[in-house]
Structures are given as structure tokens and as C-alpha cells.
Amino acid sequence: MISPIEWKDGCVRLLDQQALPHSVTFLDCDDYRVVAQAIKDLRVRGAPAIGITAAMGVALGAQTIKEKTFDAFSNGVLEICDHLAATRPTAVNLFWALNQMKAVLNAHRDSSVVDLKAYLVAEACRILEEDVAMNRAIGRHGATLLAKGQTVMTHCNAGSLATGGYGTALGVVRAAWDEGKKISVIAGETRPVLQGARLTVWELQQDKIPVTLITDNMAGALMRKGCIQVCVVGADRVATNGDVVNKIGTYSLAVLARAHGVPFYVAAPRSTIDPAMPDGDGIPIEERDIGEVANVLGMTRITPEHTEIYNPAFDMTPAELITGIITERGIFRPNDLARGMLEC
Ligand code: MRU
């Protein structure tokens, strides 16, 4: 199984997703600022992966703090958390993971600084392991929705690369494939950063799961021809009413799915649900450098100089367009999500 993040020999080892699919290159980070920059630069991306990486960044940064009292050490850790929190605004998993790290710190305020440093490493590794376990559970639940021979459309990359491993939307695909359902996948290329073309296709090819790449604007035509039976995508943040923010283009796909009677599912763990967000309109949408749109992969300019460009990285799909949300606890209708996931 591809694992994009690892705590290795006191460093955070990241699989450099900007180098894929051309080369499998690892980035060994020995400074939390390098980890933060890797998140900003999309060397590691995908909501759960961003959260896990940030947690590892906190653990890494904490090792270098020289203070000996709890308060001084804690202040140092909080500064590191603030630095990592400023990397990307949309995926709530980032803030969720930083809060987990702060909670561990506060739960051990009577411990020595040496022990606190070890607790933070252990917590970051636990967050990673828990994420993989949640993805496997999401996969088991989601696989029940797929029938033998179906074609599944996905958008962006919500796979192993976007998580601690196994994936959310691609976890569903993987679990169905492992059950022998002989499904196939259509991956939208996901302009402008091409996570679908570069990452989803690469990842599925590693597992020998059949995948066909299309440009984003081909999805409607394929649905009209009956070539797509179900859509499964990931999420960066889910509001308590079931509105979902995910990669730009998800909303268009959901509208198309509704128009063609294709069920539209979102796969997401608890760490992607924001209990403080009653609906999707309040979720901050990251706007990225316009160079991502003006140039293909930073190389060939495809529009005249001085073109006005707008580059929101995410969009909001209202709950009414979503057939169900696949979580580690089961599959919920969007309006049952809060009851199913946030109440014990
Ligand atoms: O900008 P990215 O590549 O971080 O965006 C990723 C997505 O939108 C994914 O679909 C989402 O994070 C879910 S990953 C399980």
C-alpha cells in the first residue's frame, strides 16, 4: 500500500506528489518549516494527508524546543501549530489534527519535556494509523454500494496519496475491487493542478485497477451515454447539514450526476466533518496562485499575458445533490450525518 507520509529516523518523510507520475521521490523534512512549505506547495495534499503531515510537523518541531518548563515548552509548540495552521485554509483535517496535538500536550502537563516530546511523536503516528483504519472501514461500507462491472467516476485524488493510506473515495473502489467486483474507474483530470491525471491514474495503475482518464468537461457526455453508474468523491470539509466542500469541479459533477440520475456519494472520515460549520457557505475556499491556471503544470503558458484569472481551489456542493456520505461508521443521508457522526 502506498503510504505518502512516514515518521522515519526522527524526520518526516513525504512522497513528493509534485514529482508524480514521472518519478517516485521522497522529501526528508528535518524542520517543521520545510513540512509547512511542502503542504503549501502541494508536495503533500489531500485533506487527511495534510492533517497527518501537520501533526508530524508539530512532533518534529517540538524536538528542537530547548525550554524545560511546561509553559515555555507549550508556548513553543503553539507557535509551531500556528505556523502549520497558516498553510492551507480549507481542509478542516489540518485544524482537527493540530487540536489533537494540543490536547495531548495539555493532557500531560505534569510530564517532563523529554516525555512530552515522545508523546507528541506517538500521537502523530497514532493519527496516521487511525486514518488508515478509518479508510478501510469507509471502504468496507462504500463497497456495498457498488455492483459487479460498474463504472465509477471520481474527481481529484482521494486515494492513498491523499490520506495516511488506502484512501477514502479510492478506498471504496479498492475494497470493491478486492471483493472481486471487477469495477472500473473514470478519473477526471482535475484542472488546474491535474490531481486526477497525475495522481489518481498513477495510484490505480499501481493496484492494476482499470482506469480511464477524461478531461473534466467530458463527464456530462459520458453520463448521457450511460457510461457512468456512480460517482464517489472525497471531501475537504463537510458542514453539519451535509454540505460538502471538495476540489473545484466537484459541484459541476454533482449537478451533472443529478441531471442524469447518477448517484453521487462523498467518502469522508470524522476528521473531515466540521462541527462548528452549520452549512457549507461559511467554509473558507482557498484561492491559489493564478499561475496554476495560466500555465500547464507551471511550464507552458496557455493564455495571453495580463489575462484576468480566478483560481479557487475548491467549491461547495449543497447537501441536496449528495445521495449519501460514506464514513467509517456507515453511510448517512446528508441530513442524518450530524446525528450519526457527532452524537455518541
Ligand atoms: O488541493 P488538494 O489536492 O489538496 O485537494 C484535494 C481534494 O480536494 C480531495 O478530494 C480531498 O482532500 C479529499 S482527500 C481524501
Q: Enumerate domains of the chain plus CATH numbers.
A: 5-135 (1.20.120.420), 139-342 (3.40.50.10470)
Determine if ligand 1 sits within 6 Å of the CB of residue 194: no
How far apart are alpha carbons 53 and 4 in whole angstroms? 9
Active-site residue identified among 9, 30, 110, 236: 236
The yes-or-no answer on residue 315 being catalytic is: no
The partner residues of 11 in beta bridges, in order of sequence, read: 8
What the block records as the C-alpha cell of 76 is 513553543
Reading the block at residue 138, the C-alpha cell is: 469507509
Dihedral, CA of residue 320, residue 326, residue 328 and residue 333, to nearest 10: 40
- Of 236, 270, 285, 288, the residue with max ligand 1 atoms within 8 A of its CB, to mutate for a pocket test, comes to 236
Q: Is 119 helix (H, G, I), strand (E, B) or coil?
A: helix
Task: Report the alpha-carbon distance of residue 154 to residue 284 in Å, rounded.
Answer: 23
Query: What distance in Å separates the CA atoms of residue 61 and residue 294, rounded to the nearest whole number?
Result: 36
Strands 295-296 and 237-238, sheet pairing? unpaired
β-bridge pairing 244-247 and 237-238: antiparallel
Ligand 1 within 6 A of CB of 48: yes
Query: Which residue minimizes the CA distance to atom 15 of ligand 1?
Result: 158
- Contact (Cβ atoms closer than 8 angstroms) between residue 51 and residue 271: yes
| The C-alpha cell that represents 307 in the structure block | 489575462
For residue 195 and ligand 1, the question of a CB distance below 6 A is answered with yes
| Beta pairing class for 324-327 and 330-332 | antiparallel
The answer to whether 245 and 314 are in contact (CB under 8 A) is yes
Tell me, in angstroms, the distance from the centre of ligand 1 to residue 225's CA: 28
Q: Is the pTM of this model over 0.85?
A: yes
Taking only the tens of pLDDT, the chain with its 344 residues reads: 788 999 999 999 999 999 999 999 999 999 999 999 999 999 999 999 999 999 999 999 999 999 999 999 999 999 999 999 999 999 999 999 999 999 999 999 999 999 999 999 999 999 999 999 999 999 999 999 999 999 999 999 999 999 999 999 999 999 999 999 999 999 999 999 999 999 999 999 999 999 999 999 999 999 999 999 999 999 999 999 999 999 999 999 999 999 999 999 999 999 999 999 999 999 999 999 999 999 998 889 999 999 999 999 999 999 999 999 999 999 999 999 999 999 86
Q: How many whole angstroms separate alpha carbon 136 and alpha carbon 131?
A: 9
Q: Is 232 in the pocket of ligand 1 (CB under 6 A)?
A: no
